[in-house]
């Protein structure tokens, strides 16, 4: 029982050690490749805080990572592994694109409607997997992966059929009235693509924390995720809760898609594969321990590593992939916390043995 307590205390220590190990391994790889890690990491930092443009673009990188992390985390909390954030992002983009190109509305309202519709589509996309799992017991990992493909290719079809930009591999542009860019901030930050989505991300973070920990709905989610047998015993309808939670998860994913279309690119590309942000979200949720504050910090870290990797390649000639190596190594150590815990345990035991052991004999009932 006491061992568990150590582990809980370690919930802070483990990510920090994982990050340190990740950076060290990245440095080793750089040394192997003949690059100077110090120069590389310094230029990474310089890149992310170098100019107001960089800060703005860093924020643009971070926002989807946080949302994706929250989407994965809330599904985790109900006991589901949502691999489908990528597909939900696509559905969000598609929804925003449809409203942004097909409707004509006054400027602010147009943006709001487009965001809401996109988020709704993403939510419904997530809810499908929730329904299949909750009512039919079909593994959500499989359904969400498949739904990713369905979303990807049906979005291609929709764009080509209804909203094509002739001669390109992308959709037509959204109407100016649907844009959610913050133009004055963008101008101040050297043209960095700043949009209202950042505000929404902050609101979603706050929502996530309170909804999950303070409301009866969050209570249901946590019971379902921690002990689904207890829901049966207490008469809690776990399948309904799974649908609802996956809807919320998809909503978060959908928001990412709407930001990309309405705030960053103004169009939707016909790309060969999904964005991969959904997978980054798994890492963010994992590193952040599924807590709002943790996900915020993890999103910022991964944003810095992703965006800063460009600086490493510019300043020290280090290939972009090194940034990915660092991220991967961190994920590796976080997702295999046993390794770090084992090291910690060894370390502590050794310390304890060398100390004199007399004063630890005060017994405390705990088992």
Burial of 105 (0-12, 13-18, 19+ CB in 10 A): middle
What residues pair up with 170 in beta bridges, in sequence order?
Answer: 269
Interaction of residue 227 with other proteins, rule CB under 8 A: yes
Q: CB of 223: closest distance to other proteins in angstroms?
A: 6
Tokens of 82: 């949502």
Are 142 and 136 spatial neighbours (Cβ–Cβ below 8 Å)?
Answer: no
- Total residues interacting with other proteins, rule: CB under 8 A: 33
* Interaction of residue 161 with other proteins, rule CB under 8 A: no
356 binds other proteins (CB under 8 A): no
Q: Smallest distance, Å, CB 308 to other proteins?
A: 36
Residue 139 near other proteins by CB under 8 A: no
Residue 363 interacting with other proteins (CB under 8 A): yes
Query: Does the footprint of other proteins cover residue 216 (CB under 8 A)?
Result: yes
| 367 forms part of the interface with other proteins (CB under 8 A) | yes
Which residue from 157, 230, 293, 343 is in contact with other proteins, where contact means CB under 8 A?
230
Interface of this chain with other proteins, residues 236 to 255, rule: CB under 8 A: 236
Query: Which of 315, 291, 295 has its CA nearest to residue 303?
Result: 295
The smaller minimum CB distance to other proteins, of residues 160 and 232, is found at: 232
Q: Helix 37-49 to helix 2-32 angle, to the nearest 10 degrees? A: 100
Contact with other proteins (CB under 8 A) among 160, 214, 342, 350:
214
Complex with other proteins: residue 2 or 136, whichever CB lies closer = 2
Contact 279, 141 (CB under 8 A): no
Per DSSP, helices labelled H in 260-336 are: 277-287, 292-316, 321-335
CA–CA gap between residue 364 and residue 362 (Å, rounded): 7
Q: Is 220 an interacting residue with respect to other proteins (CB under 8 A)? A: yes
Nearest distance from C-beta of residue 331 to other proteins, angstroms: 24
Cα gap 55→59, rounded to integer Å: 6
Counting contacts by CB under 8 A, is residue 209 touching other proteins? no
Using alpha carbons only, give the angle 242, 84, 296 rounded to the nearest 5 degrees: 85
Decide whether 104 or 357 has the Cβ nearer to other proteins. 357
C-beta of 245 vs 275, nearer to other proteins? 245
Distance between the two ends of the chain, CA-based, in angstroms? 6
Closest by CA to 288, choosing from 74, 60, 83, is 74
Give the separation between CA 178 and CA 212, rounded to whole angstroms. 32
Rounded-to-integer distance, Cα 193 and Cα 89, Å: 19
Q: Is 136 in the site for other proteins (CB under 8 A)?
A: no
Binding status of residue 366 toward other proteins by CB under 8 A: yes
- Which range in 208-216, 244-252, 262-270, 333-341 contacts other proteins by CB under 8 A? 208-216
d(CA 41, CA 268): 34
User: Contact at 8 Å (CB) between 336 and 18?
Assistant: no
The yes or no reply on residue 362 touching other proteins (CB under 8 A) is yes
Quote the least distance from Cβ 360 to other proteins, whole Å: 6
Q: Which of 53, 319, 69 is nearest to 193 (CA)?
A: 53
Task: Give the binding range for other proteins (CB under 8 A) out of 25-33, 37-45, 216-224, 329-337.
Answer: 216-224
Residue 160 CB, nearest approach to other proteins (Å): 44
Check residue 351 for interaction with other proteins (CB under 8 A): no
List residues binding other proteins (CB under 8 A): 1-6, 210, 214-217, 219-220, 222-223, 226-227, 229-230, 232-236, 357, 360-367
């Amino acid at each position: 029982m006491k061992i568990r307590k150590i582990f809980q205390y370690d919930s802070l220590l483990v990510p920090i050690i994982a990050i340190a190990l990740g950076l060290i391994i990245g440095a080793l790889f750089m040394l192997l490749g003949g690059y100077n890690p110090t120069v590389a990491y310094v230029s990474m930092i310089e890149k992310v805080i170098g100019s107001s443009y960089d800060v703005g673009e860093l924020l643009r990188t971070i926002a989807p990572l946080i949302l994706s992390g929250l989407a994965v985390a809330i599904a985790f909390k109900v006991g589901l592994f949502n691999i489908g954030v990528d597909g939900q992002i696509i559905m969000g983009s598609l929804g925003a694109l449809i409203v942004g190109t097909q409707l004509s509305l006054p400027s602010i309202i147009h943006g709001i409607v487009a965001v809401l519709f996109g988020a709704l589509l993403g939510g419904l996309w997530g809810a499908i997997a929730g329904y299949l799992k909750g009512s039919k017991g079909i593994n959500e990992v499989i359904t969400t992966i498949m739904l990713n493909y369905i979303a990807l290719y049906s979005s291609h079809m929709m764009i080509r059929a209804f909203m094509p930009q002739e001669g390109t591999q992308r959709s037509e542009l959204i109407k100016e009235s649907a844009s959610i860019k913050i133009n004055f901030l963008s101008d101040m930050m050297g043209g960095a693509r700043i949009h209202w989505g950042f505000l929404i991300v902050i609101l979603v973070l706050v929502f996530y924390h309170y909804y999950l920990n303070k409301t009866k709905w969050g209570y249901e989610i946590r019971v379902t995720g921690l002990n689904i047998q207890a829901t049966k015993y207490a008469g809690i309808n776990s399948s309904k809760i799974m649908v609802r939670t996956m809807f919320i998860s998809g909503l978060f994913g959908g928001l990412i898609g709407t930001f990309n279309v309405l705030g960053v690119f103004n169009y939707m590309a016909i790309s060969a594969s999904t964005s991969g942000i959904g997978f980054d979200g798994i890492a963010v949720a994992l590193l952040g321990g599924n807590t709002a504050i943790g996900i915020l910090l993890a999103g910022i870290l991964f944003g810095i590593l992703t965006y800063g990797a460009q600086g490493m390649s510019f300043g020290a000639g280090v290939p972009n992939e090194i940034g990915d190596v660092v991220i991967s190594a961190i994920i590796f150590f976080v997702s295999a916390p046993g390794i770090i815990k084992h090291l910690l345990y060894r370390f502590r035991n050794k310390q304890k043995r060398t100390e004199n052991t007399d004063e630890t004999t005060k017994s405390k009932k705990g088992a």
